[in-house]
Amino acid sequence: MFKADDYRLKIKELEETLGEAKYALDIDAISEKLKELKTEQEKPEVWQDLERSAKIGREISSIEGKIASYMKGRKALDDAGEIIDLIEETEEEELVPELDRTMADAEKDIEEMRIRALLRGKYDGNNALMSLHAGAGGTEACDWCQMLYRMYCRYAEKSGYKVTEIDRLAGDGAGLKSVDFKVEGENAYGYLKAEIGVHRLVRISPFDANKRRQTSFASVEVMPEVDDDGEVEIRDEDIRIDVYRSSGAGGQKVNKTETAIRITHFPTGIVVTCQNERSQLQNKEMAFKYLRSKLIEKQIEERMAAEAALKGETKKIEWGSQIRSYVFCPYTLVKDHRTGYEVGDVQAVMDGEIQGFIIDYLKKS
């Protein structure tokens, strides 16, 4: 028997969630912002500045996505309400399956909007610059670093993101000692910042002739890609730029000219390199972009530490703390130590199925 009150109660709950997400996203304010951006986009001087035009275009796309997400949820709830009224008026209970589908769509759309509402940080909508570093442990740790790189590439592919490798340092026997890369797409940094920290692998090492169980570590850094808008000042006297030949696999792949760039920032000790672009100029631009992002990330860390001190928190904020374990033996389990979220299918996780970990972290952080 059809129970309209049960459906209406569920709609009321979803209405409350939708309202909270609308408030968090400030839909009314960003709707006005969208009008302003579209007006600015039409100005001739904007089209003559390709970088500015692209930045405005990204902002418009981001805002339109948030508004569309809200409108989808709103429409699904309205449609569900109309179907309930129709069933009550006509007593045609064959419409109940359609109502169930509409309710499911509403839940899905509102959950998507609620997740968008979690990404309200200043840089959450930006592309992400990532660095992976193998820990102590030789070949096994380097192999783990490469496995993580593959995992993030698969995640990016599933999410519709683009990955561009910036720099890599190969391991002595196999794998990678380190790799720097960019993940391009809406909210890439907002999601991937959940991956910052040390990732732990437990397995029977294929590099150990005695087939012993080993534990390896790799660290993950994530920074927002930022525009050169003056927010971060990089003075000429504070840096040294070195030019060198990029490494290659030998033969025709070895770069015969000095196109690779290394920038050292003296005040912070930060060193960035880029060798994967085709020209020295392109490598220099990417290296400076990477340096700006690292300086922004350093500011974020310092602000978090200051806020923790004001709150009297004794726990030290460490971006390098162990966050997740990937156990291949004696059982299979991937567990996030911050949230308790866990998955038994290790292979699926290594194939890029990490969104569950990310969303759970964002909800609880």
Could you check whether the bond before residue 224 is cis, i.e. omega within 30 degrees of 0?
A: no
Using the structure block, give the residue that is written with the tokens 């005695």: 210
Q: Are 198 and 216 in contact (CB under 8 A)?
A: no
Which of 150, 172, 173 is CA-nearest to residue 163?
A: 150
What is the per-residue pLDDT for 251?
38
Of the chain, the end-to-end C-alpha distance in Å amounts to 42
- pLDDT digit of tens for each residue in the chain (365 aa)? 788 899 999 999 999 999 998 998 899 999 999 999 999 988 888 888 887 888 888 889 889 988 998 999 999 999 999 999 999 888 888 899 999 999 999 998 898 888 888 888 888 988 999 999 999 878 999 999 999 999 999 999 999 999 999 889 999 888 999 999 999 998 999 999 999 999 999 999 888 778 888 899 999 999 998 876 666 788 999 999 999 887 654 334 445 567 889 999 999 999 999 887 778 898 998 899 889 888 988 888 787 677 666 545 444 434 446 899 999 998 999 999 999 999 999 999 999 999 999 999 998 88
Q: Are 10 and 47 in contact (CB under 8 A)?
A: no
DSSP-derived pairing of the beta strands 162-170 and 239-244 = unpaired
What is the per-residue pLDDT for 316?
41
All domains of the chain in start order, with CATH: 4-118 (1.20.58.410), 124-365 (3.30.70.1660)
Measured CA to CA, the distance from residue 35 to residue 202 in angstroms comes to: 52
What is the per-residue pLDDT for 289?
87
Instruction: Name 305's bridge partners.
Output: none
What is the per-residue pLDDT for 247?
66
AA identity, residue 42: E
| 50 to 41, 42, 44, 55: CA distances (angstroms) | 11, 13, 11, 9
Neighbour-count burial of 84, counting CB atoms closer than 10 A to its CB (0-12 exposed, 13-18 middle, 19+ buried): buried
Measured CA to CA, the distance from residue 56 to residue 48 in angstroms comes to: 13
Does the pTM of the predicted model rise above 0.75? yes
What is the per-residue pLDDT for 230?
62
